[in-house]
Every structure is written in structure tokens, then in C-alpha cells.
Structure 1
Amino acid sequence: MAMPHQDEPTSSSRIDPINPKIYPVPLSPQFPPISKQIELSRAMSASSKSSLFALSIKDILYEDEWLIAVNKPQGIYCDTVLSSVASFLAHSHGVSQEIKVSLPELHLANRLDRDTSGVTIITKSHKVASKLVKAFTDHKVKKTYIALCIGSAPKWKKITIRSGHGRSKFGAWRVYAASDVGRTLPGGSVVRDMETSFQVLSVNGKGSLKDVSEFTNDEGNSIVVEEKAMKEDVVMEDEIVVRAYPRSGRTHQIRLHCQYLGISIRGDVKYEGVYEWKGKTYDAHELHAESLSLEHPITSLQVVIRAPLPLWANQALQL
């Protein structure tokens, strides 16, 4: 069941009375009021789960002397994974707790939202961290995600959406017009570019898990966002599994673009995803960081790291 959201503020509320300035207008809605209560409950649950979390060998996707890649579980904070890696390495390499401080300096190369599962890379030195962070910043790391969405089955099989991205006056991440990129927002930040390609894998269990392929910009449809999305009068309640190829690395990017396309991720209450579905209540959104492809920061070899699909994705794809 979709939840109503708060009305958009009036245009006058977007003008700073001390330093009058008209700011870009967000094209996606604010968080639904009920999402605050649900998110607080989820955060408390995640804190409890994270306090008990310990990394095991089955969570390790890749390791060498410079990197370690982990399949982060849903509902666990990235910082918890980072601290667990230190304990895991100490134990696996026979290092006692007393001298664990001598372990390599660990850094999160990429971060996932609390409820997003999948590939998380931790570097083992400052030098490797700086190189890998630069690779992410320069968009040289290719990423794919799997999401289970609810809405009307898309008429497209592949699509690319380009928009602006930024924080609104109320602190929420929102979609902005592509033409607003570079404009100043309340608080001094600016609208940044955001681009994601999507591929439909299945609708209501009909479809298949296709191999990850190179997705060129001239494939499928293309949307350049300049106005609010037009919602269909009759919204079907289809279960749609998509693979997302983010071209940029903006906060909540895939979640925002799914919302704009009218196929919000199941359980994603911040972005109009259903909280209850077919008699079940969902305590997290269903988004999974499926793969990362990158040039190794030391060896320069191409490395592809994949995380096994979670249960909800296997069920939806009927694997």
C-alpha cells in the first residue's frame, strides 16, 4: 500500500528572507510522514543487529594483500562491517587482540545504505584507499544493482534516466531537473548530475536473470528529467525486478530514480515504496549491490566481484 506524502512547499517558502534567492524546485516528493516513524524503528533494529554482527568466511567475496570485499547483509551498517573486518583479519591471521592495532589501516572504499545488501570493498592501506576512492569518484568503477519494485510493469525493457540530485530545503535527497545542475541549493550545496540505466529482468516472476552486459547509452529509451513525473491514473501492482547501472554515485540514486519512474522499491518507505504487500510487512527496502568491476589499484588487472543474490531476489526471479 502506497502512503500519502506531504504537500510541496509554496514557491515563497523556497526564498531565503534574509538573502532573497529563488532556489531550484525539487521534482520528487518529500518523505511521507509515516516514514519517519518506520525509519526510526528500522534504525533501532539495525543498531541491535549490528552490535551482534560478526563477519564469517562465507561473507568474504574476495581478498588479497591490498583489498577485501564483503557481502554486506541487509540491515547492517557499513561501519559495523568495517570494524568486523578488523576482528576477522586478526582471527584469520592469528593476531591476538592485544596487538590487533598493528593491523593495516582499513578504509571503506564504497558505502551502502543500511538496508542495501551486497558488495562492499575495504582497502588495507592509505595508499590503496586513495587510489580506489579516486577511481570511484572518477566513475571508473562499474556497478550493478538488483532491485525489486512495485508498480505498473514498464513498457520499456531498457531505459536511461538523467536528472539533477541534491538536498532540498528540508534536508531530504530529491530529484531535480537536469537543467538545474550547478545551481545553488539552500545550505550552499549545488545540484549535481545523476544518471542511471535500468534493465527489466522479470515481471511477476516471468523473466530471467540475464548476464551483466555492457549497457551503452544508445540502448533503449532515454529520459532527461525536466518536470515532475506524470503518474498513471490506474497503477497496477506488478512485481518488477530490475538491474540498475548507476553512471554516477549519488546518495540514494537508484531509489530516487525508481521512484521517479513510478516503480518504487518494495519496502522503501522514504521513496513511496510499499510498506505492506500481500499481507506481509517489510522491515527494509529490497536493493542489492550485485557487482563491482574495477581496475585493481596495485596490479592494474581487471577485477570483477559479485555477491550472491539475497533470498527475496531468488524468489522473485524464481531461481
Structure 2
Amino acid sequence: MSPSRTAAEERAALVAAARESIARGSKSFATASNLFDRETRERAWLLYAWCRACDDIVDGQDHGHGATAVSDAEARVAIIAEKTTAALVGRVVGDMPFDALRVVAAETGLPPRFAHDLVTGFRLDAEDWRPRSEADLYRYCYHVAGAVGCMMAVVMGVDPADEDTLDRACDLGMAFQLANIARDVEEDDRIGRCYLPDEWLVEMDIPPGQHMKPPFRDRLVVLARRLAARAALHEASARVGAAKLPPRSRWAVLAAAGIYGDIAREVAARGAHAWDHRVTTPKSAKLAWVAKAAVAARRPVRDTPRDPTLWTRPR
């Protein structure tokens, strides 16, 4: 922080920059975040700015667009880890996204383990890691998205000791990432990545590195629909957990679940044409989910036990 600026002025500048980041990086999340109360909304933006910047650094992209293979990915992750650690212990980093993390972590008592778990996810990508089994896939989804769900829960006021609610928050992140993987199969293939488990590819008799080839498109559709089905199960679990949140946070989470869930549903519906054009949720559909979520947030939800067949995050 500049000696000429107060802490309040620094925070305001970080919030403004974070708001710009989410507006550029995710229209879906930006829409949902506007449903939070002001304090939660600003903290969500600050956390997003850090997550977005780390992802961009590792993938050589700008706000999630134009990903390219980078030659120094592991060195980039090392820098991210160093700055993240500094931010979590309250040191001024002098780099907007990491100072945003510093502020939100201090304000919410954010458990450092979740931030470090996300950095582990970036490290997996830097090492060109690929899942061999379905369990590997879920572990990856936790590190790059489930951990973010846990952090967002804390931002929304969930007690870090409330493991059951954190599990539900993790489920929402898992659902989002499974939808991402289904949607981005072709984009990932262009930069030499594949998040479909080797065991799934063997099961469908798809040779390594050939899943985007026309002869295997129908088999790929089966796997994409499997990802969408798994995403739906985690989304349903997260909806139950949302009942534990304050009213406006519940509204925002339910809207985000619907908006992002539509991505997985649309991928499944398009079948072999799912990767002709990038799947997005139209603005009209987003607004419809905002309205539906407002109604759903007022309805009582039966507190059913979490599905024991769902993958559970490490504790």
C-alpha cells in the first residue's frame, strides 16, 4: 500500500479493479454477484480477481480468453504460490489480485488451506497432469473449483468449522468445473490438454489424443453427457446447502447454479455439435434464472443428507 493512501482508499481501489476483472472474465458470475449484499459482493469480487489472475498467469490468457501453451508454467506457479503465501499472512504484495486476496482473507478469516489447494490445482496444470481415473478427475475439479466454492462459502459467512455446508459449497464448484470440462474439450485439445480420464477413453475405445477426431465424435458425446450428469448431481447437492446461507447469498448461489448449470445441459443437448461454437448462457436465460432463484430462495428446503455416492473433498 502506498504511504499516501489510507487502508480504506486502498480497499476501494482494489474493489474497483476487481469489479472490472469479473465484468471482463465472467458475465455469468458478474450477474450472480450483483445479487449479494454490498459487503459480500465486494468480497466476492476481490476473491474472484485473485482466482482469475492466477488462472490467467498459468494459462497465458487474458481474463479466461486466448489460452496458449506457455514454456515456463512451473515457474509461473512458483511465483503465484510465493505471492499467495505473502498475501495470506497479511503482507502487502504490490500486485492487485494478490492484495485483493490479502484484504478478503483478513476480513473473513479465510482458511489458508483452501487457497493453497487452489494453487495445487494450478500446479497440476503446469505439470501437464492428466487424470487416469474418475477419482483423479474429481480431485482435479476440487483443486481448481471445489476449493473456490469453499472459499466463497466463507466469504458468504459460513463458519469454516461447518464442514457439512462447506461440502455443499464444494459441490457447486465441482458442478461448475465438470460443466467447464464438457464445454471446453475442443479448446483444451488445441493447447494439448485433456481432462477426460484415461479409463473413460479406454472404455470408449478412443485412442490417446484422438478424441476430437470425427470418427470418435459420437463416443465423445457419451462422455460429455456423463460429465453433464455428474455436474447435475453436484448441483442438486449444492442447492440443498444453499438453504444454510443468508437470503441474498442464497439467491445469488441459486442463480449461479442455474446459469452455469445451463452450460452443462446445453452441451448434453447439442450432442455432436456441442463444440461447433462455444456454449454460453444467453442474457435472457440469465435474467430468467435470477427471477426463478428469487422465488426458490424463499421456499423451504428439506435438509436431506448429502448423497453418499458423491465424491467428497479431502479434509
For this structure pair, what is the TM-score category when the shorter chain's length is used for normalisation? under 0.3
Q: Which has the higher helix share?
A: 2
> Which has the bigger relative contact order, CA under 8 A and spacing at least 6?
1
- TM-score, normalising length: structure 1: 0.25
